[in-house]
Structure 1
Amino acid sequence: MSLIALSFIAFISLGLPDGLLGVAWPGIRKDFTLPLDAMGLLLIFSTAGYTLSSFFSGVLVKKLGLGGLLSLSCAVTAIALLINSITPLWVLFVAASTLGGLGAGAVDAGINTYIAQNHSDRMMQWLHASFGLGVTIGPVIMTLGITLTQRWQWGYIIVTIFQILLALIFLFTRGWWHNMTLKEETHVKEEASLLETMRRLTTWLNMLMFMIYTGVELGLGLWSYTLLTESRGVSPTLAGFISGAYWAMFTIGRILAGWFNRKLTVSVMLYFSIFLAILGTVFIIVDLHNGLSIFGIGLSGLAIAPIFPGLVSDTEKRVERKFQSHTIGMQIAAAGIGAALVPSLAGILARIFGLEIIPYFMLSALFLLLLSFRLSHKGRTVEQTDFAS
């Protein structure tokens, strides 16, 4: 139970920084005199760090142990957030975000692999619910910081302090993960190489699903605040709490999915989630009243919540065990790419066509996710196919 609790705490720490940016972005853009779509550059560089550490998460865990990696990651994230809060230079803000991505990626992949190989689908949903808790608290912290001080920097400072405390906790408990690390090492001889995993067609199809999904998840969370305040006349304070409500419903969705996953197959749950997210996005588009938009944002957060952990825990059913470790790392890396690519494209489209294009773009991405999931479901028979054949 202690390792589970630490895993959940680690995922709360992963979610906190992600929850800050959406609310802070209008203030950041004003202070650095940036165009609307400059968020894309920030996401690309942070994702570069995230993707790099995700790909090499297995190596890092073997070198440092998962406990040591958790401590180092939180320390690196704290440094990155501190730089974000004090730097007057946009280039340093971007560089710090890259550092933060490096801190997050390896932990994300490492703990996902640990839970997928050692615990139930229910535990996977609840692990990701803890991420949702962190990303729910983030906008609230930032909104309160802006409301009380009129400065977005205080939100980053508060989360910096939290990350330092977590780094110390993981430092003093790093020995708890020792037995788990030894267990992972016993499987080294069974594991396929990274190259062998990359040659499999299903690996790339799985990566596509993760890329699309995470892009939609983060895109809705990041752009909802700007859409509401700059296009639909919602007050900044209310919009900040609505942004937090998106992540709150997201967290609730993952908690509920953990309870219901024994009654529904992963496939049924994922189809239902995608269709419900499409409905929520349609409500945002229709915008007959701000109340309907708010309902659509909350419904979308609730609906998409089970998808990511469902896809991760289902990896063992789609992929042979010897390919699982590298496949999960590659899926997490692809998720990071999607988290940068989709919101960045949304920002570019918003600059060209206006902010109201964003929900249409997210709706299109959800339909593409539905199609790719359908293809992956039908493509189980080609699981042994690789690019060498």
Structure 2
Amino acid sequence: LMSDRLTTRFDPGRVTAASVALTAAALFGFSFSTQFWVLCLWAMPYGLGAGTVDAALNNYAALHYTARHMNWLHGCWGLGASISPFIMSQALSSGHGWPSAYRTVGTLQAILTAIVTVSLPLWNKTRKINGGGSARLFDHVPTRAALATPGVPAVLGAFFSYCAVESTSMLWAASYLVSVRGTDGATSAAFASLFVLGITAGRFLAGFVAERISDRMLVRGGFITVGVGVILVGLPGVPSWVALAGLVIAGLGSAPIYPAIIHSTPTTFGAHNSQAIIGIQMAAAYVGTTLAPPLFGAISANTGLWTLPLYLVVLVIFGLVMSEQVTRRGRARAQDG
């Protein structure tokens, strides 16, 4: 939520470098923490850094790069999400303990901070090549004004829904497959991880076709594909491999939604509003990621894990409806010139 004010006062490159440095410091802080409350303290700068770099970098890419690059950017998130468990497992299996894993990732973040800092002149160069002009492009847009922009509540709903589906699927899919489908634990865990790999592979593949397919078509097709995958997961009386395949299909369908919504924001709401709105979108994404999995946990405690596909379908339908409202907003803005 502070990203627009920060990038207006400074510039995206400096904000990104400082934010990555903040997360690196927090990761080292985690690794040296011996009490839970200390971990909680370090979580605050870690969250501030992660949230700011998310919003600043996404807006910079949306303004200055193509849909192809946006999909590949988010595909790299999937690579990191896939590699990090291996770093932790290696640290644990080697006997060095979990702090070693955090120090390893903290070192990688420190190296990344140095790379971003050295590359700062390229950020302004990219702006000039792509017609962006100086580093401070637009005035600060207050959060209240951004929220009052027509279509913003709908895009926040779409973002909330997508991230709710993603996080709930990643955290609960394996439990559902074991408890409801009777799949063995190892297979269930493997296919739950394939959901993330499906997102990663799908984003790299989407990058090759994103220039030929509009952002709104990618979002619409993504939500529909996720819905199909979730329905396959929940179909009664079918072999377990159908549910496993449905999970992979849902992951592939999830791939283009996040980057396409981000990339379309300057076009839909105006480049002068995009940083503020993308910052709010990131906040909505984190709310969905944080609240949706425990909410399903509370629901399933009373109903059973079999309700997971129903829960996900409701979120998918809501996200699709909200995204279609955003599409109508974009068309109206295009007609108004």
Which TM bucket (shorter chain)? 0.7 to 0.9
Query: TM-score, length-normalised on structure 1?
Result: 0.73
Aligned to 2:77: 131
What letter corresponds to residue 45 of structure 2 in structure 1?
L
Q: Is the CA contact 2:195–2:251 (under 8 Å) kept in the aligned structure 1?
A: yes
Alpha-carbon distance, 1:146 to partner: 5.0
Query: How do 1:1-389 residues align onto structure 2 when only pairs under 5 Å count?
Result: 55-85=1-31, 87=33, 89-145=35-91, 149=95, 155-179=101-125, 183=133, 185-188=135-138, 193-228=142-177, 232=182, 234-235=184-185, 239-286=188-235, 288-380=238-330
Unaligned runs of 5+ in 2: none
Q: CA RMSD in A?
A: 3.1
SS at match of 1:183: coil
| Unmatched 5+ stretches in structure 1 | 1-54, 385-389
Length, aligned pairs only: 328
Alignment check: 8 A CA contact 2:226 2:254 kept: yes
In structure 1, what residue type is equivalent to 2:13?
G
Q: When the two structures are superposed, what TM-score results if normalisation uses the length of structure 2?
A: 0.83
- Conserved 8 A contact 1:75-1:164: yes
- Aligned partners of 1:352, 1:154: CA distance in 2, in Å? 39
CA distance in 2, matches of 1:296, 1:187: 44
| Letter of the structure 1 residue corresponding to residue 230 of structure 2 | T
Deviating more after overlay: 360-369 vs 241-250: 241-250
- Structure 1 distance, partners of 2:264, 2:318, is 20
Deviations 1:143-189 (A, max 9, x none): 55555559655544432332232223333333433546893545325
Residue 192 of structure 1: how far off its partner (Å): 5.0
Q: Which residue identity lines up with residue 188 of structure 1 in the other structure? A: F
CA positional deviation for 1:278: 0.9
Deviations 1:340-385 (A, max 9, x none): 122232232234434443333122101111121223333457769x
CA distance in 2: counterparts of 1:160 and 1:289, whole angstroms: 44
Q: Which amino acid aligns with 1:374?
A: E
1:243–1:372 Cα change, 3 Å: same
Q: 1:276 to 1:381 in 2, by over 3 A?
A: closer
Q: Within 2, Cα distance between the matches of 1:143 and 1:279? A: 33
User: Which piece of structure 1 moves more, 365-374 or 375-384?
Assistant: 375-384
Structure 1 position 105, deviation (Å): 1.0
Using a 3 Å threshold, how does the CA distance of structure 1 residues 82 and 284 change in structure 2: closer, same or farther?
farther
CA distance in 2, matches of 1:147, 1:332: 35
Partner-residue secondary structure (3-state), 2:213: coil
Displacement after TM superposition at 1:226 (Å): 4.6
Identity of aligned residues (%): 23
